[in-house]
Amino acid sequence: MNDDLQGTIYGTINSTINSTIDSTIETNIDSTNERIYEGAHGSINDFLLCRTPQAWIDNALANQDLLLIDHAHCEKKAASTALSLMYRYVDNAELLHKMSRLAREELRHFEQVLALMTARGISYGHLTPARYAAGLRVAVRSTDPGRLVDLLVIGAIIEARSCERFATLAPYLDTELSNFYNGLLKSEARHYRDYLALAEQANGGAVDDRVAVFLAIEQELIEQPDSEFRFHSGPLTQPVADKHAIPI
């Protein structure tokens, strides 16, 4: 057999094996999501101190392009946060495993949002930072293990809020976007549980006291009037379309 033919055969076999492995992983992730989500949504609503205000839902429906642009940023940032934790805490095998899987999923979500935006003629662009993540990080302790515990608790809260917002918004949206958001909230429910489990592991026990601290801050950020509409913003002080999207 000549080298060219051998290379072609090996290439075909490798690509078949890789695509089979990829599709098996995807199927396992999806079926795990289904099982976990069955009981997760109720517990997420119990976990968070407040539901999304109706005023924010009205803002979202009036700013759907901006909603999708910021959603894309959120997915990319979620992957970036997971990678940052992987770089800093290289000796935590459980964290490395869960964050690696989470980062892959978030980037897949990012690609899905971008595809949906492209189909709708919406341009991706820079946005001014939301107050939400920075507002939560104000209470993060400066030294480890407290710093890691706090970052993981914040991760759990952001995932829980994302899940709650997807579920709350979905009934108001067109069928395509509604189906997309109903599909995403399953992943976010699992990410919430993963972050909480990692926080308890890093703390060597329950993290109820730190969860209470950050949930109280989060409730304010969700309920207090906000000057800019974002996926994790509070209700707008003035219900006008946001003009901060800058095409790149």
Q: For binding to Fe ion (CB under 5 A), which residues are involved? A: 75, 78, 106, 109, 159, 188, 191
Identity of the residue, 78 or 169, whose beta carbon is nearer to Fe ion in the bound complex: 78
Rounded to the nearest whole angstrom, what is the least distance from the CB of residue 25 to Fe ion in the complex?
Answer: 17
Rounded to the nearest whole angstrom, what is the least distance from the CB of residue 184 to Fe ion in the complex?
Answer: 6
Identity of the residue, 45 or 224, whose beta carbon is nearer to Fe ion in the bound complex: 45
Rounded to the nearest whole angstrom, what is the least distance from the CB of residue 106 to Fe ion in the complex?
Answer: 5
Rounded to the nearest whole angstrom, what is the least distance from the CB of residue 102 to Fe ion in the complex?
Answer: 6
Backbone torsions φ then ψ of 226, nearest 5 degrees: -125, 155
Identity of the residue, 44 or 236, whose beta carbon is nearer to Fe ion in the bound complex: 44
Identity of the residue, 70 or 75, whose beta carbon is nearer to Fe ion in the bound complex: 75
